[in-house]
Structure 1
């Protein structure tokens, strides 16, 4: 198994410990950004990996919706929920930001559980996310992560949207109430944790092979194509992205044209200005790094 070591292996004097064209390309691109870049990538077929601060905690933004989906599937598998049940749209759960429920769906409308999950992932619907947290609880999400051996990822609370406080008092997890975790917002994770989740899905190890396959199918329908998907036209990609004012993140399995599978998680923090256009420098960074990783790791 080949291991690429990046920023974690920079000498005090600034010299790199090993020369590799892939490392050189990533180093050059990351060096153009004034903020911080965290990433982890793994060729799921060869086992080759590379990372930058891959075990450091980062704000998840909407990538935390991936673990939420896992917990819902777990509850259905355990008989604690049914796909045929419905969830009611309420004013208390409506928040601004991505999605359509808050702006287009009337209060009191009942939506099938499966549709709410699809909206949370495919459109990154914030209100759908809050509806699911209300139904299944943040603690259940974190408990399921523990069952999977994922210790560095935690759902802290429901999504605020443009608000400054939760409309519902039931939206917090125990760790989310800790003062030291306030800086993470909705959730925290590490690039390596996210890739581990994706690898487990790809191996059919989360809940069941059938459930894992179904969750990957939902991720493949994600409509955000401004990050990892941006420059990888013609590739099949299962992904979930996230955005905050100064942050962009994206996690994905890329099914390459060489027949290999590359899982990656990239977070760009410290974007200098608020910019929600497709030309956000964080999105451009993620797109470039994803292209470099796929080109450099497909045959490794």
Structure 2
């Protein structure tokens, strides 16, 4: 008996260690299996083909944005375009509309289309705003809008070279027509010269590049520019290309309010519009209404806190001007005028200036609020 008891060994730590090792290995194995399963199930959960139990669903803090299926979470979503204004008429400035009517009545043989809209509050004035009249070079503004839409969509590059061909060579304003056929111009130069010096060949290059006249007219229609149509290559001295004052104002407003183009596209549009060298109609008339000298309208307006980004048109039988007006208090307005009359009749341009001058009283800045101390 003594011999048997002495031969038994103490239990020691062997068994507990083996049990602990088994538990660790089982835990690692279960972790690997569970992780692999969740990884495989992840796409199905995102598609909502598979729903996890509530204890596996991640908890989201109340102030933490929830990420949707396809869009990234936005901590501070951008405000709506209402903060930038909209192309929306709310309150007619009847006194200004009647003033325009009286000015036009002095020359009844002239056909007039006029429109102004304060983007921030919807005040507006109008005179035959939807009458389709010869667009002249004013149609280059909506053409610029469509071209930059193509850039936004990735179908056109700002530096893409456009090749001069016999088809697109246009007479009149500009210098590109004097270059040899086959000359290549980057798109940014073509777009800029179309506005800066109203180059007709540059305009035709862009018309061709965006798909031609039929495609361009369809794009105008989709933008709500129902009176704006390109029926001939520029310079179109017979006036077959048409537009209206409302269309011209709308084309500019859609960009500035963010309803058309990206932020980068809007910047390109504004930069190009700011290069126009002709400023005697809308800018000159506004300056006249503000009581300024007629030396250099752009510089004189800038001193008063105003800026006008405009594009004119002139084919002798029709004159036009349309632009964005920035006021000293930060508000903005769009205005457009188209007048058809006898060839090279100075009454047409003078009427545009007088109508622009009549806008000055309603486009004065609001007094700055008193400074908080």
TM-score (ref. length: structure 1): 0.78
Task: Identify the residue that residue 205 of structure 1 maps to in structure 2.
Answer: 259
Q: How many angstroms does 1:263 deviate by?
A: 0.6
Partner residue of 1:224 out of 278, 293, 300:
278
Task: Identify the residue that residue 239 of structure 1 maps to in structure 2.
Answer: 310
Q: How many angstroms does 1:219 deviate by?
A: 1.0
Task: Identify the residue that residue 16 of structure 1 maps to in structure 2.
Answer: none
The number of residues matched between the two structures is: 258
Task: Identify the residue that residue 207 of structure 2 maps to in structure 1.
Answer: 133
Equivalent-residue separation in structure 2 for 1:69 and 1:153 (angstroms): 13
Change (3 A) 1:145 1:160: closer
Higher helix residue share: 2
User: Where in structure 2 are there 5+ consecutive unaligned residues?
Assistant: 1-89, 288-296, 367-373
Task: Identify the residue that residue 72 of structure 1 maps to in structure 2.
Answer: 147
Partner residue of 1:121 out of 195, 202, 227:
195
Task: Identify the residue that residue 171 of structure 1 maps to in structure 2.
Answer: none
Equivalent-residue separation in structure 1 for 2:125 and 2:139 (angstroms): 22
Partner residue of 1:255 out of 326, 333, 337:
326
1:230 partner SS: helix
Equivalent-residue separation in structure 1 for 2:130 and 2:200 (angstroms): 27
2:113 partner SS: strand
Task: Identify the residue that residue 2 of structure 1 maps to in structure 2.
Answer: 91
Equivalent-residue separation in structure 2 for 1:66 and 1:217 (angstroms): 13
Partner residue of 1:45 out of 117, 120, 123:
120
Equivalent-residue separation in structure 1 for 2:360 and 2:324 (angstroms): 11
Equivalent-residue separation in structure 2 for 1:134 and 1:56 (angstroms): 27
2:320 partner SS: strand
> Does the Cα contact within 8 Å between 1:217 and 1:238 map onto a contact in 2?
no
Partner residue of 1:32 out of 106, 123, 145:
106
Post-superposition CA distance 1:83-105 (Å, at most 9, x none): 222112234322211112123x3
User: Where in structure 1 are there 5+ consecutive unaligned residues?
Assistant: 6-19, 163-182
> Does the Cα contact within 8 Å between 2:279 and 2:310 map onto a contact in 1?
no
Q: How many angstroms does 1:41 deviate by?
A: 0.5
Equivalent-residue separation in structure 1 for 2:207 and 2:153 (angstroms): 17
> Does the Cα contact within 8 Å between 1:224 and 1:241 map onto a contact in 2?
yes
> Does the Cα contact within 8 Å between 2:100 and 2:127 map onto a contact in 1?
no
Post-superposition CA distance 1:242-298 (Å, at most 9, x none): 11221101111111234331211101111x3435xxxx3222221221121133344
Q: Which has the larger radius of gyration?
A: 2
Q: How many angstroms does 1:161 deviate by?
A: 5.6
Higher strand residue share: 1
Equivalent-residue separation in structure 2 for 1:37 and 1:160 (angstroms): 21
Q: How many angstroms does 1:50 deviate by?
A: 0.8
Equivalent-residue separation in structure 2 for 1:265 and 1:161 (angstroms): 20
Equivalent-residue separation in structure 1 for 2:180 and 2:283 (angstroms): 32
TM-score (ref. length: structure 2): 0.64
Equivalent-residue separation in structure 2 for 1:63 and 1:24 (angstroms): 25
> Does the Cα contact within 8 Å between 1:243 and 1:249 map onto a contact in 2?
yes
1:192 partnered with 2:262:
no
